[in-house]
Amino acid sequence: MGRIDDVELIFNTLVEANLVSYNLKIKGYAACSRVKDSKRLFEEMFQRTIVSTNTMIYVYFNNKEIGKALKLFEETRGERYPVTWNSMISGYIQNEQYKE
């Protein structure tokens, strides 16, 4: 157990979960090396925002899943903001993929 389990209990008892709570939980799972839980929650989201997408791109890069980060980035055509480009550039640098 741990603090993430406490957060999960609170999250699950919220009357109405929202995008902020989903994004926080996704990042919290990733910080505790529970990447599968991050992915599952992202897939369950009824509505995704640029914050949700960038959070998941961060999770993928942090876990060396560069192909998945790129795939998600490519799915955002028409919704790419400077912060999304920054997430990609930062992720490539973090993973020493300088030519990408």
- pLDDT of the residue at 69: 94
Asked whether residue 28 is domain-assigned, the answer is yes
Q: What is the pLDDT of residues 5-25, one digit of tens each?
A: 776 777 777 656 778 888 888
Q: Which tokens go with 57?
A: 């791109």
The answer to whether the CB of 76 falls within 8 A of the CB of 92 is no
| Residue 78 forms part of a structural domain | yes
Q: Whole domain around residue 9: which residue ranges?
A: 3-94
**Is 53 domain-assigned?**
yes
On whether residue 100 sits in a domain, the answer given is no
List, for residues 40-98, the tens digit of each pLDDT value.
Answer: 989 888 788 888 899 999 999 999 999 999 999 998 876 778 888 898 999 999 988 87
User: What is the pTM for the complete model shown?
Assistant: 0.79
Q: What is the pLDDT of residue 65?
A: 93
Considering its fold, how many domains does the chain have in total?
1
CA distance 65 to 42: 15
In a domain, 99, yes or no: no
